[in-house]
Amino acid sequence: MINEDMYALGAAPNKIREIFAYGLDRKAQIGDDKVFDLSIGNPSVPSPAIVDETIARLAKEGKGTMHAYSMSPGLVEARAAIAENLNKRFNQNYSAANLYLTAGASSAICIAIKAVVLPGEELIAITPYFPEYKTWASNAGAVTVEVPARTSDFQLDIPAIEAAITPKTAAIVINSPNNPVGSVYSDENLKQLADLLRAKNAELGRTIYLISDEPYRELVYDGLVPAWVPDLYEATFVCYSWSKSFSLPGERIGYLLVPNTMPDWQRVYTACSGAGRSLGYICDSVLFQKVVAECVDAPVEIEPYDRNRKILLDGLREIGYNVIEPQGAFYMWIEALEPDAEAFCEVCRQHELLLVPSNGFLTQGWTRVGYCCSEETIRGSLKAFKEVYDEYQAR
């Protein structure tokens, strides 16, 4: 006998990977330069040189216990270096004890949910959202309650969140800079959320946790500085990874921060350790823990994404698409030219343009365009976007 729920999850199509696999096949058939794959969030900017050099040096120097297990939360020196980096950047007072190193932001979110959302309780997620939140909530026996972002600007819709909070609400997960929209929540918007959560905590006699999913933190444009969310709301987990900032998604290195401002933070941290253990995490990659310990202060290169963003935004608007101007991450949210986003993406595919329909993010009628690819691909894609637009105009 097998677990049928797990079978269903394993058999469920992963839309983005499906499109990506199709793109690879198609490129092999007709040539790399003829397919415009704007589907997956694999960064195209190379990892910082210092990261590559450190990996090579550590691998060469490594002997004896270099590759041994670390303690489950990670090496103290790696956690201390990350804490120091956060203290400098955000004027905090964290230490190694606040950090649990994880296999990317994914594991951090999954652990945080498991630690504070009990079976039968509710996790609020803002649509459109990274769809794995629902899987992780379900793994904790919890229910995901979906609240749409504000349609005018894709910021948090505070009255809608208020209406969705019930005595069973244990946590809310937010993601800024946002995948798939590219929005960055304003300080004001986040303060309103914090005020709402504090009022609800008092009313319901519990703590509603805020899980801040931030793998795109440094990928922001036009000088924008995203708020440090724990400064606004005490019971905030920060889930981070170097997947996007250092272009290391395949290496699985990130962290869960349990700030010392969180009520009862040491007990919460211990529950996170238990959650990690129950989910089978032994420790994060030790090689990459050491890499991050040495390179955590390295600057993040955003110019190539910013260039792509501007070319795409101007090009799509000139053609006539309704586009949400992204402030961060490396995705653009464009309105499909028909209500059925899947059908629209199918038409795009016929023009060798590979996009992700919004259904994959629990929303109808939009499409995610990833611009973490080469500038050449972005420029080439605009011709295909124009052909698609003209085809719809002619209908």
What does the binding site for ligand PLP look like in residue numbers (CB under 6 A)?
A: 41, 104-106, 130, 175, 179, 213, 215, 241, 243, 249, 254
Q: How far is the CB of 132 from ligand PLP (least distance, A)?
A: 7
Determine contact, residues 171/116, Cβ cutoff 8 Å: yes
Q: How far is the CB of 35 from ligand PLP (least distance, A)?
A: 21
Q: How far is the CB of 216 from ligand PLP (least distance, A)?
A: 7
Looking at the Cβ atoms of 254 and 304, the one nearer to ligand PLP is: 254
The rounded distance, in Å, linking the Cα atoms of 272 and 31 is: 47
**Residue 176 CB contacts under 8 Å (≥ 6 apart), including other chains:** 183, 184, 185, 190, 212, 214, 226, 328
Q: How far is the CB of 29 from ligand PLP (least distance, A)?
A: 27
Looking at the Cβ atoms of 249 and 380, the one nearer to ligand PLP is: 249
The rounded distance, in Å, linking the Cα atoms of 382 and 303 is: 20
Looking at the Cβ atoms of 362 and 382, the one nearer to ligand PLP is: 362
Looking at the Cβ atoms of 106 and 273, the one nearer to ligand PLP is: 106
The rounded distance, in Å, linking the Cα atoms of 359 and 343 is: 11
Looking at the Cβ atoms of 107 and 207, the one nearer to ligand PLP is: 107
Q: How far is the CB of 268 from ligand PLP (least distance, A)?
A: 21
> In the complex, which residue's CB is closest to ligand PLP?
104
Q: How far is the CB of 331 from ligand PLP (least distance, A)?
A: 8
Looking at the Cβ atoms of 254 and 315, the one nearer to ligand PLP is: 254
Determine contact, residues 32/377, Cβ cutoff 8 Å: no
**Are β-strands 99-102 and 254-257 bridged in parallel, bridged antiparallel, or unpaired?**
antiparallel
Q: Residue 298 burial (CB < 10 Å; 0-12/13-18/19+)? A: middle
Residues in the chain: 395
Residue that the structure tokens 């005595």 belong to: 167
